[in-house]
Amino acid sequence: MSRLQDLAARIDAREATIGVIGLGYVGLPLAVAFARAGFRVVGFELDAEKVRALARGRSYIADVSDAEVAEVTGSDRLSATTDFAELSRSDVVNVCVPTPLTKSKDPDFSHMAKAVEDIRKRLRAGQLVILGSTTYPGTTHELFRPLLEDTGLRVGVDFCLAFAPERIDPGNEQFKVHEVPKVVGGETRLCTELASQVFATVFDRVVPVSSSQAAEMVKLLENTFRAINIGLANEVALMCDRLGLDVWEVIEAAASKPYGFMKFLPGPGLGGHCIPIDPTYLAWKMKSLNFPARFIELATEINAQMPWHVVRLVGDLLNEDRLAVNGARVLVVGVAYKPDVSDVRESPALDVIELLRAKGARVDYHDPHVPELALGHGSLKSVELGEEALAGADLVLILTHHRSIDWARLARHAQRVLDTRNATRDVREGREKIRKL
């Protein structure tokens, strides 16, 4: 029996040790899921505080509870370490590290490259390596396969290599980790089969594709689809503003059609860990092939201008009462990139606040999930959303529609409201104070 055949048998018997590099919003839910499926799981994390928290049975992300962590750490199914030498003991290694953009909007592979180098140093026959971090088509095959095969071990013969994109949606209570189908593409047929076998122990459905490149493209298509359609919704919002129409009324009416239309909503811009970033990975790759990604470029341009549009609307609303942005007190409500999460990565609220401050506005913010916000060389702290704060602001600007906020109370006590998320759609009292995107 070959080492890889032995690995297949060990996976079936839940005797394989699963390693997960990166215990953030993607890696920790995956590690917990494997541990609950009966595997011995070792998490590898550079942040020692996260390792200590897990050792105490504590979670640091909203989508995994303390009870879930305590269950698997208490039974010794899950442990975490900062010692990457332990990778040599893992039979399956999942890479779940960030893949952001550089300041010049080029892909930043530094985290993934470090993870693969850590694996390469300890790679042994019989291991399965699965990359899950979002990247451009060809990364696994062109960049990381040669690095791993430089050890003298051969993909599909001595070890296996696959790509299986993460599909985590932070704060989504409708779909749990195991309920979202897992796409898997290996460097060889055996690689796809082994990776699919592993994920079938956790996910309700596994979707194998023909190659790692296809799997990489799947993830980029998913989020490019969303970015482009949000860009369309934002452009429609700009059109409706020019035409004097209510974009929210138009979209809701269009969404009544039972076929041929999918509802996307406008907003102050794009935010989060995927949608603003993933299309840029694809456009970057295609640029190297002299293929202009025109839809992506246009949607990116439209979405990027939305914070400026919001600031212009702030000025227009204040100007109606002969007030200037310069010196105005603006209370921003919600700075997370989406409702009911604490994540501010790429949040358009950051751009809106900086633009307002550059124009001389005095900006405070309230967000029940974000107690402090880093901005430039300083920071702001969330203020209480009391009657005094609402009435004392020249304008209340809604940028994130958290469910815990009483929008009727907000409208009742605020002097003026600019709602970029249609959060006040059901408000009756005080509607005359509200202007929408």
> What is the set of active-site residues?
274
How far apart, in whole angstroms, are the C-alpha atoms of residue 273 and residue 21? 18
How far apart, in whole angstroms, are the C-alpha atoms of residue 130 and residue 66? 27
**Burial environment of residue 171 by CB neighbours within 10 A (0 to 12, 13 to 18, 19 or more):** middle
Nearest to 23 by CA among 69, 85, 80: 80
**Residue 25 and residue 341 in contact, taking contact as beta carbons nearer than 8 Å:** no
Q: What is the dihedral of CA 378, 319, 300, 260, to 10 degrees?
A: 130
Nearest to 345 by CA among 423, 272, 398: 272
Q: How many CB atoms lie within 10 A of CB 145?
A: 17
How far apart, in whole angstroms, are the C-alpha atoms of residue 323 and residue 315? 8
**Residue 187 and residue 140 in contact, taking contact as beta carbons nearer than 8 Å:** yes
Q: Which residues contact 364 (CB under 8 A, 6 or more apart)?
A: 329, 330, 331, 332, 380, 383, 389, 393
Return the biggest CA–CA distance within the chain.
82
Amino acid 109 reads F
How far apart, in whole angstroms, are the C-alpha atoms of residue 216 and residue 211? 9
How far apart, in whole angstroms, are the C-alpha atoms of residue 158 and residue 16? 17
Q: Which two tokens stand for residue 410?
A: 């907000």
Helix 66-74 to helix 27-36 angle (10° resolution) is 50
Nearest to 437 by CA among 173, 150, 189, 239: 239
The DSSP symbol for 384 reads P
Distance (Å) of CA 290 to CA 135, 283, 294: 19, 10, 12
Nearest to 33 by CA among 204, 202, 205, 207: 202
